[in-house]
Amino acid sequence: MGEGAYLGFSAGSLAAILAMALASYLCRVLGVILMAHVPLTTPVRRGLAALPGSIIVAIIAPLVVRGGPAALAALGAALVSMLIRRNELLALAVGLTVVTILRALGV
Amino acid sequence: MTEAAPPPPVTLKGMLHGARLITPLIPGSLVFAAAFGTTAAQKGLSVLETMLMSAFMYAGSAQLVALELWRTDVWTGAAILAIATVVFTVNARMILQGASLQPWIYPLPNRVLWPSLALLTDANWLIGTRYHADGGRDAGVLIGAGAALWVVWFAGTLPGRLVGGLVDHPERFGIDLVMPIVFTAMVVPLWKGRQDTICWSVAALAALATASIAPGYMFVVAGGLAGSLTGALLGVLDDRRRRPHG
């Protein structure tokens, strides 16, 4: 690697990184700022209450559909483990064990 | 304005608790960070540029997507605007995550609130949400988890960038499934009754429909919004039922 590979940069690349950092920070604060200006009526409260679970379900739903049998089995096993013993760490271990075994078997 | 809520506590104990809660996610984050570093090397970013991205963006998926648009020749204003816009859309889910945290953390003093939000990611949002749903109020948990993962993310990027190809086929051990598995597990304690079943079903359907027609990560935003709006609608209906003449 030449010198440029370590400390190389240009005004343009720094500006791009700065712009991306700003865009990310904007996403992080925007929801907080917006909600500070919305009065907490019953519907708003209920909408906020439903939000975390909805985000999580929205993230995993396409994965469940497209992820293939090994991923599906891992998520299913983690869910069952969580229903029996409410322990995220255990659920993670169970899910990873299932997917490792299934993938080793070529599933 | 509504009545001012007292600010939540921020304690060192809470921060350490948050850092401890994040430990199961460390191996996955290290591998993800190393994968980003490796890809950055392939795309021609210098070590400095790579580390600056991890330090100031601190957003895995957005960083990987940004590498697809990275230029090694000339950066025009239009190219910078384009890459920042793509990063914004990939990170747009954090707008919803921030909104869901607002009632808890907004009363924090400004000098704590705004810097802390720079540490917001899927992982500490998830841990903070679970902690808060169980009745916890210490915002240190959210901050500690975010800070601990930031260190892991930053430290994990460097060897990936320097060595490259550090981790061959991490998917063999299901590393790619760590976050999905933790997300799935989290659904269980968050479920509070029939209303959640309705809202979450709508969220899942909206996410699937969006994922099939729109590229990128908009499906998370669409699903989250749809589920939340369903919750709000159920709230309106409840209000009507309680005050039939109002």
CB of B232 within 8 Å of a chain A CB? The answer is: yes
Interface test with B, best of A1, A22, A24 (most B CBs within 10 A): A24
Q: Which residue has the higher pLDDT, A18 or B177?
A: A18
Mean pLDDT of A61-83: 93
Query: Which pLDDT score is estimated for B1?
Result: 45
Query: Which pLDDT score is estimated for B40?
Result: 93
Q: B18 and B148 in contact (C-beta within 8 Å)?
A: yes
Model's pTM, two decimal places?
Answer: 0.90
Query: What ipTM was reported for this prediction?
Result: 0.91
Q: Which residues of chain B have pLDDT under 50?
A: 1, 246
Domain ranges for chain B = 12-178, 191-246
Give per-residue pLDDT as tens, B80-120: 999 999 999 999 999 999 999 999 999 999 999 999 999 99
Record: contact A58-B224, CB cut-off 8 A: yes
Rounded Cα gap, residues B68 and B47, in angstroms: 17
| Cross-chain CB nearest to A47 (options B85, B92, B231) | B231
- Residue whose C-alpha is closest to residue A72's, from B187, B184, B171, B190: B184
Domain ranges for chain A = 1-37, 40-107
Interface test with B, best of A56, A64, A79, A81 (most B CBs within 10 A): A56
Rounded Cα gap, residues B90 and B208, in angstroms: 17
Could you write out the three-class secondary structure of B90-156? HHCHHHHHHHHHHHHHCCCCHHHHHHHHCCCCHHHHHHHHHHHHCCCCCCHHHHHHHHHHHHHHHHH
